[in-house]
Amino acid sequence: MTDNTRFTCLIGVLLLTTADLRLASHEHPVPPRSDFSAFPTHILAWSGKDLPELGAQVKQVLAADNYVFRTYRDDATGANADLFIAYYGSQRSGDALHSPKNCLPGAGWEPVSAEIIQVPSLAVAGSSFKANHYVIEKSGVQQDVLYWYQAHGRIFANEYMGKIYLAWDGVTKGRTDGALIRITARRTPENPKSFQEILAFAQALSPTLPQFLPN
């Protein structure tokens, strides 16, 4: 961790503590949002179906207020992408979004490569947003992982900046809601285009998210 990152984290913790004290005595209204039970099973050319429900222990650790866990398939190309979104109606310094960067090694997955990329968005013409792209490996199996965070109209890849945003919005807006969006696909010699596939799905997904993740 660099000195700049440590400094950013320190500021985030201090601001988040301030936000905790303020929010302890103030309501934090969140605009209406649709529950993930209404999340579409068809997104452009992609058709989805629910994956098995998370176990009780995983849910307890995740501590999300609402989540969707589903696999999608592009009916035209046969591409596949697994989608996971965890939404939190409010967060505190000890109960915030879990970074896949920290969680994946705990599940036995090791990073092979990591980068931050720009994802073209269909939500606003000509726009794009930053997301993390990881290649991870476990027992010889590799996956492409694309993930980012959304909160109050912001889309960002850096979890440390997310702490700053969280604290600032907690103090200025009285809101600490937010979400993690993660898309994965298995990488095999037979499927060398897994990264392009999840990138295409992320682009197709972008206009759907604001209904479920309020600005």
- If you write DSSP's letter for every residue of 177-197 in order, what string do you get? -EEEEEEEEEEBTTBTTHHHH
Judge whether residue 161 has pLDDT over 70.
yes
| Parent domain of 90 | 3-211
Confidence at residue 67, expressed as pLDDT on a 0 to 100 scale: 95
Residue 95: what pLDDT? 55
pLDDT for 111-139, tens place per residue?
899 999 999 999 888 899 999 999 999 99
Question: Is the pLDDT at 29 greater than 80, yes or no?
Answer: no
Q: What is the pLDDT of residue 24?
A: 42
| pTM (2 d.p.) | 0.83
Contacts 24+ apart (CB under 8 A), 171-174: 171/15, 171/18, 171/19, 171/22, 173/28, 174/22, 174/23, 174/26, 174/27, 174/28, 174/29
pLDDT at 30: 77
- According to the model, what pLDDT value does residue 61 have? 83
Number of domains in the chain: 1
For the stretch 51-109, pLDDT in tens is 999 999 888 888 889 999 999 999 888 999 999 999 998 876 545 677 777 776 667 88
pLDDT of residue 21: 39
Backbone angles phi, psi at 97, to 5 degrees: -60, 140
Q: State CA 167 to chain mean position distance.
A: 18
